[in-house]
């Protein structure tokens, strides 16, 4: 066999892997480094359900509806609209959750993002991409109260195939810079702290996951996520570790992923009635479920 034919034979399975799972969401939170083919569109929907703060009743649904486009084979862009609904009662957290809140789905923010691929995991053996997102929210995704935030997110995304693509590893590291300002509230509980001065927040994150193809188009995996946030007034406000399983289905036309990310441990600020002192439950919850799907066209 000639050298040219040998190289072609080695690349064919990798190219088919790249086409089958390009920019699919294999995990609930961790991102892969693949980008979309030039000139293609994808509709993505993410639905996140978070519940249980260890006191009272708390549940919130967050949605992200995104349209992505492959500008080139290496550069993908997307625009999103975010939304949420919340149901919380019998729970008051000083400086954060002033009382009962209940409303159905409302638009809560917009986002634009770019992903640029430096190295392809299929062609270069190791994948590496840069990710940039700019978003503006007018509802707090945790408390449900009015809060204007503008954030810039930067991440490096790594990815590698093993066993001819049967096993896939992904890793992310990044930071987010946020300018936040809460709206003033009336009828607050006596002595309740509700600062309305502008705040600067810096979040650092690390995530990693592995996904294994156990049948045609089906992957089972697990991911780990660490997040910590620093704020103007308090320094390090929180940190948390989440880890859990995921299952993914991907075909040529669409893909879908479901993951469960319970909080394993956490710390930072806590509230008086919190039942588990080894978790951060002011902004985070005990359980987080993520469902995502994408349609190519």
Tell me what the mean pLDDT of segment 49-57 comes to: 96
Distance CA 143, CA 60 (A): 9
For position 233, what pLDDT does the model report?
73
Tell me what the mean pLDDT of segment 237-266 comes to: 96
The mean pLDDT of the chain is: 91
pLDDT digits (tens, 9 = 90+) for 78-97: 999 999 999 999 999 998 99
pLDDT digits (tens, 9 = 90+) for 63-82: 999 999 999 999 999 999 99
Is 100 strand, coil or helix? coil
For position 235, what pLDDT does the model report?
86
For position 23, what pLDDT does the model report?
75
- Count of domains observed in the chain: 1
Tell me what the mean pLDDT of segment 268-280 comes to: 91
Total-model pTM: 0.90
For position 21, what pLDDT does the model report?
56
For position 204, what pLDDT does the model report?
98
- Among 112-121, 188-197, 223-232, 258-267, the minimum mean pLDDT is found in 188-197
Long-range contacts of 185-193 (CB under 8 A, 24+ apart): 185/98, 185/145, 188/98, 189/92, 189/98, 189/99, 192/92, 192/94, 192/95, 192/98, 193/94, 193/95
Sort 2 into a burial class: Cβ within 10 Å, 0-12 / 13-18 / 19+.
exposed
Does the pLDDT at position 119 exceed 90? yes
Phi, psi at 170, each rounded to 5°: -140, 145
Tell me what the mean pLDDT of segment 119-146 comes to: 95
Does the pLDDT at position 18 exceed 70? no
Range of the domain at 101: 3-296
Distance CA 274, CA 249 (A): 38
Residues of the chain above pLDDT 90, percent: 81
CATH of the domain at 109: 2.40.160.40
- Among 15-19, 154-158, 245-249, the minimum mean pLDDT is found in 15-19
Q: Residues 81-109, buried b or exposed e (16+ Cβ, 10 A)?
A: ebbbbbbbeebbbeebbbbebeeeeeebb
pLDDT digits (tens, 9 = 90+) for 180-212: 999 999 888 888 989 899 999 999 999 999 999
Higher per-residue pLDDT: 110 or 252 = 110
Tell me what the mean pLDDT of segment 230-236 comes to: 84
Residue 129: which pLDDT band, with cuts at 50, 70 and 90? Answer: very high
Tell me what the mean pLDDT of segment 47-64 comes to: 97
């Amino acid at each position: 066999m000639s050298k040219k034919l040998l190289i072609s034979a080695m690349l064919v399975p990798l190219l088919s892997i790249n086409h089958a799972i390009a920019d699919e969401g294999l995990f609930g939170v961790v991102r892969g480094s693949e980008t979309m083919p030039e000139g293609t569109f994808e509709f993505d929907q993410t639905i996140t359900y978070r519940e249980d703060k260890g006191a009272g009743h708390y549940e919130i649904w967050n949605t992200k509806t995104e349209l992505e486009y492959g500008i080139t084979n290496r550069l993908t862009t997307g625009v999103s609209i975010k939304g949420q609904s919340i149901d919380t009662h019998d729970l008051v957290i000083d400086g954060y959750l002033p009382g009962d809140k209940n409303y159905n789905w409302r638009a809560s923010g917009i986002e634009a993002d770019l992903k640029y691929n430096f190295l392809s995991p299929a062609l270069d053996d190791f994948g590496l991409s840069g990710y940039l997102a700019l978003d503006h929210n007018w509802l707090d995704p945790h408390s449900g109260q009015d809060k204007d935030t503008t954030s810039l997110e930067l991440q490096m995304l790594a990815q590698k195939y093993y066993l001819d693509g049967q096993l896939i590893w992904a890793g992310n590291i990044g930071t987010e810079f946020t300018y936040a300002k809460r709206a003033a509230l009336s009828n607050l509980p006596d002595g309740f702290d509700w600062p309305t001065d502008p705040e600067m927040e810096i979040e650092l994150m690390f995530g990693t996951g592995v996904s294994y193809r156990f049948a045609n188009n089906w992957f089972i995996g697990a991911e780990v996520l660490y997040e910590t946030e620093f704020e103007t007034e308090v320094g390090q406000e929180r940190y948390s570790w989440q880890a859990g399983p995921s299952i993914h289905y991907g075909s040529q036309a669409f893909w879908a992923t479901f993951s469960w990310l319970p909080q394993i441990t956490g710390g930072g600020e806590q509230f008086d009635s919190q039942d588990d002192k080894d978790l951060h439950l002011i902004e985070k919850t005990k359980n987080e479920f993520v469902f995502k799907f994408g349609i190519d066209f």
